[in-house]
Amino acid sequence: MRKLLKNGWILTMDESDHEYRHGDIVIEDNKISYVGPAKDHENIDDIIDASECLIIPGMVNTHCHVPMMPFRSLGDDCPDRLRRFLFPLENACMDKKLAYVAARYGMAEMLLSGITTFADMYYFLDELAKAAEEMGIRALLGESVIDQPSCDARNDEEGLALGEAFIAKWQHHELVRPILALHATNTNKAQTFQKAMKIVEKYDTLLMSHVAEMDYEMTYFAKTYGKTPIGWLNDIGCLNERLLAVHCIHLNDEDISLMAENHVKVAHCPSSNLKAGKGIAPVRDMINKGLDVGFGTDGASSGNTLELFSLMRMFAGAQKTKYHDRSLFPAQKIVKIATMGGAKALNMDKEIGSLEKGKKADIVMVSLEGVHMFPQHDPYSLLVYSANAADVKHVFVNGKQVVNDRRLAISLTKLRQDLAANMEDFDKKAAELSKTIK
Amino acid sequence: MRKLLKNGWILTMDESDHEYRHGDIVIEDNKISYVGPAKDHENIDDIIDASECLIIPGMVNTHCHVPMMPFRSLGDDCPDRLRRFLFPLENACMDKKLAYVAARYGMAEMLLSGITTFADMYYFLDELAKAAEEMGIRALLGESVIDQPSCDARNDEEGLALGEAFIAKWQHHELVRPILALHATNTNKAQTFQKAMKIVEKYDTLLMSHVAEMDYEMTYFAKTYGKTPIGWLNDIGCLNERLLAVHCIHLNDEDISLMAENHVKVAHCPSSNLKAGKGIAPVRDMINKGLDVGFGTDGASSGNTLELFSLMRMFAGAQKTKYHDRSLFPAQKIVKIATMGGAKALNMDKEIGSLEKGKKADIVMVSLEGVHMFPQHDPYSLLVYSANAADVKHVFVNGKQVVNDRRLAISLTKLRQDLAANMEDFDKKAAELSKTIK
């Protein structure tokens, strides 16, 4: 099966950022077999007109909790909502069924906005994997292990066991790549980190964890160990190229150097961090030291929308403002982080992240027809400062078209109905909690 | 003519933020004649189903340069682009015709995103007024006066004369409200400010000016007068309730107190300020002191999109981060600024800014059907943290429906073609300038 995307404005995001103002892409099975100037092609089964589109690599979301859809727009501006809303509601209401229908809904949102790969930390992973298979999205899924009762494990030991079993089961899947996740440096013990690291070494995969996110986390580590969380991770032998450290808001220069020396990967979540008023991660300095940084939406409870367009714009504003420098992170570099940056952070840059011959056909076509997408002096500026998720027109994952003219194969109404039907208990308890807090 | 918006989720944004989960609005000619719970109505000529919509007041954009559309995506990340791109290109290429077609395009973008009133500072104002009349948008238009040659005046004296003539001509129009504009505190003389203030007093209107925006402006005022720009404005007798001060990024506590005592209005432009890395205006402190603050998109050269959805989200993140406080500016307060806040800043809160009986029928219906608009625990959170401009479905200005199911009466393709056809010279010069800068 050979599909031709004809005459689009291609931003390859390859090593040299090659661009084709009038270019073609040929998809052969699940891979890209041609990227270059528009020309004649033979043996094409299907042609898609790309003349009013930017064509970019599928975007990469390096951090999410996709089943947290039920939490969107709940208690957004409430202090310490993690302990006041999130943990109690999760433990009371999150089950296999809700995780499954919510994950499908969240995956729909990602696909519709051009995210073709995401990395997730949550519970009920078999449900998530099944959902990813059905929706046709590339998913790195890690069981969330925490040192307290969670919705699918009584303690961290059980969580680790679940996590390892999941990895063993799904390790050779085409779309699902199993990883492992620890909730956070301040909610897990040193031994749990060490055991988890052994597991990810054994299966050659990643360990995702929230790190250096909370004020009270920083205080705790300073008081207890006289260290930063990064320093502590280094001491316990868990700072290495398998660690995907999420948030990393509160880093000092020594932390950044340590992370760079040890090739730690970073998932940066500006939309989530800004809404929480937690601070702006020093991404300029991380990248200057050579760290691989990708963008993460975080869950819909924290980042609200599972898309990278508004995130890229917020990222630009936050970094330029933090360092008082308009020229910092020009738009092209930001699109790079959203694509190749994410692929590198997930150790997948050999397969995805750019439009190159031989890579997996994860491709997004962004319409230039919207009122806000003109004039077109700079396509990267349009993507970062103008575009929104509704501009995404066609999306391919692993060679298969999953979004066609802004629609999924499955009806969005159906996905929403399924989610709503499983949220009755959640809504009741959420309303009760909201009252006690106001 | 009586139109009924039937069974919507109405956020009135009135004094008590009344909400109707299932509510009706009746529009009679150009005014609202009923807002309240859904019920039976008599003598209705037209019914619009609002059951899958939030209904909010028309949003108010307190600062724009609407004909600057040609600059969008040009040199976004280039330092001092005002002097390197904007002034040279304006003086070389901006003329009556380009201002007119660009203004129509920009007004289209605003209407499509639910902005029903905007305040503008630019040149060729008769063209802008004509465009506003044709597009059916409420416009406060002020001739931009500057102490250097501009594209329609040789100097500030000529600019003032043009500005006064425009006010005299358009002062009794239903949609167009003439104001006056001075470019900035650092590009205009004290006498020009004083003369301009006399003119706006004579015609009972507003004076808009960029204030306390640039680092070099702050240095200049400190060195030359030992003052802040606000202190200087106070000294020359121009700090009063007729001044609409734009940006106000660099204010100290004394400035804010002075502004509050003198009832100065503020147009805050976070999307523009963040992209430029200029800093985050102390809006929390301004509002705590009782100042009327509205949101401004700035021109498409600076703020890129002429809509308030992404702006509201960036505002939330910026203020919460600046003050390290998640609970600051909950979503409801942000929607308030985008509606009543803007109306107050433009001295129009008796006519627009909320959905109340007797007010002008400037109304926006935001679809709840998008994947990102569910669940719906809090409608204000959805507007601030989830919605984008593409969610705007129907828009009414002064009782007339100007956007119907996401479309204007006039074809967007036609508007874009008209703009493109008049941008040939501009594009050529812009490309030349870009080369000299890279």
Q: Domain limits of chain B?
A: 2-57+355-408, 59-345
Give the whole-angstrom CA distance, residue A211 versus residue A234: 12
CATH of domain B2-57+355-408: 2.30.40.10
Neighbour tally for A284: CB within 10 Å = 16
Candidate from B73, B270, B371 with C-beta closest to A382: B73
Give the whole-angstrom CA distance, residue B116 versus residue B110: 7
Contacts of A420 in chain B (CB under 8 A): 374-375
ipTM for the whole predicted complex goes beyond 0.95: yes
Q: What is the pLDDT of residues B168-201, one digit of tens each?
A: 999 999 999 999 999 999 999 999 999 999 999 9
Closest CA to B115 of B404, B330, B342: B342
Q: With an 8 Å Cβ cutoff, is B311 touching chain A? A: no
In the sheet that holds B115-122, the strands lie side by side as B59-64, B115-122, B138-145, B176-184, B207-211, B243-247, B265-268, B292-295
Q: Which chain B residue has the Cα nearest residue A320?
A: B277
CB-side neighbour CA atoms (13 Å) of A430: 22
Q: Which chain A residue has the Cα nearest residue B76?
A: A381
Give the whole-angstrom CA distance, residue B84 versus residue B76: 12
Question: What is the token pair recorded at B366?
Answer: 């935001």
Residue with tokens 């975007």: A59
Q: Is the CB of residue B366 less than 8 Å from the CB of residue B53? A: yes
Name the fold adopted by A2-57+360-405: Urease, subunit C; domain 1 (2.30.40)
Contacts of B73 in chain A (CB under 8 A): 375-379, 381-382, 385-386
Q: How far is CA A225 from its chain centroid?
A: 31
Amino acid at A153: A
Q: Which chain A residue has the Cα nearest residue B72?
A: A375
Give the whole-angstrom CA distance, residue B105 versus residue A148: 56
CATH of domain B59-345: 3.20.20.140
Identical fold between A2-57+360-405 and A59-345: no
Residues 6+ apart with CB under 8 A from B240: B197, B262, B263, B264
Which helix (H) or strand (E) segment holds residue A340: the answer is none
Q: With an 8 Å Cβ cutoff, is A52 touching chain B? A: no
Q: Bin A111: left if φ > 0, else alpha if -120 < ψ < 50, else beta.
A: alpha
Give me the tens of pLDDT residue by residue for chain A, a chain 438 residues long: 899 999 999 999 999 999 999 999 999 999 999 999 999 999 999 999 999 999 999 999 999 999 999 999 999 999 888 888 888 999 999 999 999 999 999 999 999 999 999 999 999 999 999 999 999 999 999 999 999 999 999 999 999 999 999 999 999 999 999 999 999 999 999 999 999 999 999 999 999 999 999 999 999 999 999 999 999 999 999 999 999 999 999 999 999 999 999 999 999 999 999 999 999 999 999 999 999 999 999 999 999 999 999 999 999 999 999 999 999 999 999 999 999 999 999 999 999 999 999 999 999 999 999 999 999 999 999 999 999 999 999 999 999 999 999 999 999 999 999 999 999 999 999 998 888 775
Q: With an 8 Å Cβ cutoff, is B328 touching chain A? A: yes
Contact B385 A275 (CB under 8 A): yes
Contacts of B313 in chain A (CB under 8 A): 271, 310, 314
Distance from CA of B208 to the nearest CA of A (A): 25
Question: What is the token pair recorded at A289?
Answer: 């030291």
Q: With an 8 Å Cβ cutoff, is B175 touching chain A? A: no
Q: With an 8 Å Cβ cutoff, is A301 touching chain B? A: no
Residue with tokens 């007729």: B242
Q: What is the pLDDT of residues B239-255, one digit of tens each?
A: 999 999 999 999 999 99
Which helix (H) or strand (E) segment holds residue A126: the answer is helix A125-135
DSSP state, residue B32? E
Closest CA to B240 of B207, B212, B262: B262
- Of the residues B111, B323, B374, B383, the best mutation for testing chain A's interface (the one with the most A CB atoms within 10 Å of its CB) is B374
Q: How far is CA A120 from its chain centroid?
A: 7
Give the whole-angstrom CA distance, residue A388 versus residue A314: 12
Q: Which chain B residue has the Cα nearest residue A279?
A: B321
Which helix (H) or strand (E) segment holds residue A397: the answer is strand A392-397
Give the whole-angstrom CA distance, residue B185 versus residue B160: 15
Q: With an 8 Å Cβ cutoff, is B330 touching chain A? A: yes
Give the whole-angstrom CA distance, residue B316 versus residue B311: 9
Show the DSSP H helices in A323-411 as ranges: 331-336, 342-345, 379-381
The CA distances from residue A388 to A100, A304, B15, B415, in Å, are: 27, 14, 33, 21
Contacts of B323 in chain A (CB under 8 A): 277
The sign of the CA dihedral A283, A285, A288, A289 is: negative
Q: Beta partners for A179?
A: A142
Q: Is the CB of residue B211 less than 8 Å from the CB of residue B229? A: yes
Q: Is the CB of residue A242 less than 8 Å from the CB of residue A206? A: yes
